[in-house]
Amino acid sequence: MEYRISNELAKAREYEKEQEALIKEEDRPVYHFTPRTGWLNDPNGLSYYDGKYHLFYQYHPYDSHWGPMHWGHAVSKDMIRWKYLPCALAPDTEYDGSGCFSGSALVMDDGSHLLMYTGCGDSSADPTGKGRWIQSQNIAIKSPGSDEYIKYGKNPVIKEKDLPEGGDAYEFRDPYLWRAEDGTFRVLVANGRTDEETGTQLTMYRSDDGFNWGSGKVLFEDERRIGVMWECPNFFPLGDKHVLIASPMDMQAEEEEAVGSIRFPQGNNVCYITGKYDKKSEDFTPDSDDADTGYYIYEPVDGGLDFYAPQVMKTPDGRRVMIGWMQDPMMGNLHDVKDFRIFGQMTVPRELSMKNGRLHQWPVSEIEEYRTDKDIYSGVAFGNDWIRIPSICGRAIDLTLDIKAESTCEELGIRFAADKEHHVELRFDVARSVLTIDRSNSGQPDNITKKRSLKVRDRNGKLSLRLLIDRYSAEIFINDGEQTMSVTYYTDPSAQDVYFKANGPAYMDIEKYDLQK
């Protein structure tokens, strides 16, 4: 029987094509991924399939705000230059008619591409009366030679009856797939609990064929009570550890008052946990900081203002590469974006590594192919007044600063995306070793969070920064990627300057490239 796409999918495809033609290249970032049209949130289905990288994304084509979720789709040879493909999934069945939520992808042995995603169905039966949608895990599969991701006839494949005890069927989402060493399938699904106000369990299911899933086992429980629900789990080996990355919602702020830094701001955050995974028993034992309680250690993945719901994939050459949604989810819908037909960006793909027990992130080397116009300066002295350096400017640049502040220098600053009235500022409090990102003067609306301060490792006044500055964002890689800060801004792209200042002796080596696509 010939396959016919649904009216909802046909409508989305027609609409995105029509709208894309109206969006000018200058309205998009130079090298950060944006939706074909409308709104984007989480990266989904990251995978290498059929000779290309595939990036799907949470997508509301009809508006620059969140709405009924579709899956957008793009492919790339190098993870930097993406080509849009037609919208892959639309909310068009009983089990996903309220939204096709996040999920992941696997390549099957017969050459097909399998997507597993969360379907949001009916809301009328929510026992809390909050109108939440029942959530289940579903499959869409593309056969070799076909272009369509066809929803599996036996969906949902994991549903309410498969929940472990206490699991909430209305907070049950974001399946993360992988294959075990023996080729069998695993998926980790985020799940809230019905019995308590807060608390999350991450449940792992097993399958021999990827379609038939057995009963779940709780791989991880949040006994520390961090946030209310952990979204978008990722679980993978890295170096000599196993890493769990997830996005807890509604966290309480965690501040280090002594140094004035914010470990986690109030709201939704992304954290990582390292530990050991026993392949036989399939138990995960998180690294702990407390012998009595056995409580796990959790660290922020990004110390900036805009980073959420990242997904990690394995590349054919064995790298673990992460892409995040570069937006504070609490702020996304507050932006006044009426001048933009698109809203939402992804981070550049970041290669992950484990050094001294800490997660490190670095832009994939493929981005270096887009560098042009190299400029190098060494031993440049900062001034007491803001100074500019010829040719160190731009809104699509890859800028490395190796800084050394003498002990009498208390603070230094860098401003970028600057003109006479606007700038984004990075301030380094040398004595406390605290780095602050501040976009108060970038022209953002008042209701947007403006600042975050992050304690960085004390290296005796030395600070190494790699700034990937784009038209509407910057990603900052600190001390070889030991920490990162992501920030968006919507300053007019004509604000191109970079300024430096220090209130005492400080010097830097500069390496700068333009990035062109």
Give catalytic residues, as residue numbers.
Answer: 42
Q: Position of tokens 């304690």?
A: 455
Q: Does position 425 bind ligand FRU by CB under 6 A?
A: no
Q: Does position 327 bind ligand FRU by CB under 6 A?
A: no
Distance of alpha carbon 262 from alpha carbon 391, whole angstroms:
34
Note the maximum CA span of the chain: 77
Q: Position of tokens 């992130």?
A: 361
With respect to ligand FRU, which residue has the nearer C-beta, 141 or 189?
189
Count of positions on this chain that bind ligand FRU (CB under 6 A): 14
Q: Which residues pair with 75 in a beta bridge?
A: 54, 83
One DSSP character per residue, 477-497 reads: EETTTTEEEEEE----TT--E
Q: Does position 118 bind ligand FRU by CB under 6 A?
A: yes
Q: Does position 329 bind ligand FRU by CB under 6 A?
A: yes
With respect to ligand FRU, which residue has the nearer C-beta, 128 or 372?
128
- Exposed e or buried b per residue across 287-311, where buried means at least 16 C-beta atoms within 10 angstroms of its C-beta: eeeeeeeeebbbbbbbbbbbbbbbb
Question: Which of 42, 222, 475, 497 lies at the binding interface for ligand FRU (CB under 6 A)?
Answer: 42
With respect to ligand FRU, which residue has the nearer C-beta, 36 or 455?
36
One symbol per residue from 280 to 309: x for binding ligand FRU (CB under 6 A), - otherwise; what is it? ----------------------------xx
Q: Shortest distance, CB of residue 103 to ligand FRU, whole angstroms?
A: 8
DSSP category for residue 11:
H
Q: Does position 168 bind ligand FRU by CB under 6 A?
A: no
Q: Does position 173 bind ligand FRU by CB under 6 A?
A: yes
Cβ neighbours of residue 216 under 8 Å, at least 6 residues apart? 158, 162, 163, 164, 189, 203, 204, 205
Q: Does position 70 bind ligand FRU by CB under 6 A?
A: no
Distance of alpha carbon 226 from alpha carbon 207, whole angstroms:
30
Whether the bond into 29 is cis, omega within 30 of 0:
no
* Residue pair 383/501 in contact by the 8 Å Cβ criterion: yes
Residues 232-271 that bind ligand FRU (CB under 6 A): 232
* Residue pair 463/415 in contact by the 8 Å Cβ criterion: no
With respect to ligand FRU, which residue has the nearer C-beta, 173 or 452?
173
With respect to ligand FRU, which residue has the nearer C-beta, 249 or 359?
249
Q: Does position 231 bind ligand FRU by CB under 6 A?
A: yes
With respect to ligand FRU, which residue has the nearer C-beta, 173 or 423?
173
Q: Does position 41 bind ligand FRU by CB under 6 A?
A: yes
- The secondary element (H helix, E strand) that includes residue 7 is helix 7-20
Q: Does position 436 bind ligand FRU by CB under 6 A?
A: no
Question: CB-hemisphere CA count at 13 Å for 511?
Answer: 7
Q: Shortest distance, CB of residue 472 to ligand FRU, whole angstroms?
A: 19
Q: Does position 36 bind ligand FRU by CB under 6 A?
A: no
One symbol per residue from 359 to 378: x for binding ligand FRU (CB under 6 A), - otherwise; what is it? --------------------
Q: Position of tokens 């160190």?
A: 392
Question: Which of 31, 33, 82, 101 lies at the binding interface for ligand FRU (CB under 6 A)?
Answer: 101
CA–chain centroid gap for 439, Å, is: 20
Cβ neighbours of residue 121 under 8 Å, at least 6 residues apart? 94, 95, 96, 97, 98, 133, 134, 135, 136
Question: Which of 174, 398, 425, 438 lies at the binding interface for ligand FRU (CB under 6 A)?
Answer: 174
Question: Which of 9, 30, 46, 69 lies at the binding interface for ligand FRU (CB under 6 A)?
Answer: 69
Q: Does position 58 bind ligand FRU by CB under 6 A?
A: yes
Give which of 143, 136, 134, 98 is closest to 118, Cα–Cα: 136
Q: Does position 16 bind ligand FRU by CB under 6 A?
A: no
Q: Shortest distance, CB of residue 309 to ligand FRU, whole angstroms?
A: 4
* Residue pair 378/389 in contact by the 8 Å Cβ criterion: no
Q: Shortest distance, CB of residue 222 to ligand FRU, whole angstroms?
A: 15
Rg over alpha carbons for the chain, rounded to the nearest Å, is 23
Tokens of 305: 């203002």
Q: Shortest distance, CB of residue 69 to ligand FRU, whole angstroms?
A: 5
Q: Shortest distance, CB of residue 310 to ligand FRU, whole angstroms?
A: 10
Positions in the binding site for ligand FRU (CB under 6 A): 41-42, 58, 69, 101-102, 118, 173-174, 231-232, 308-309, 329
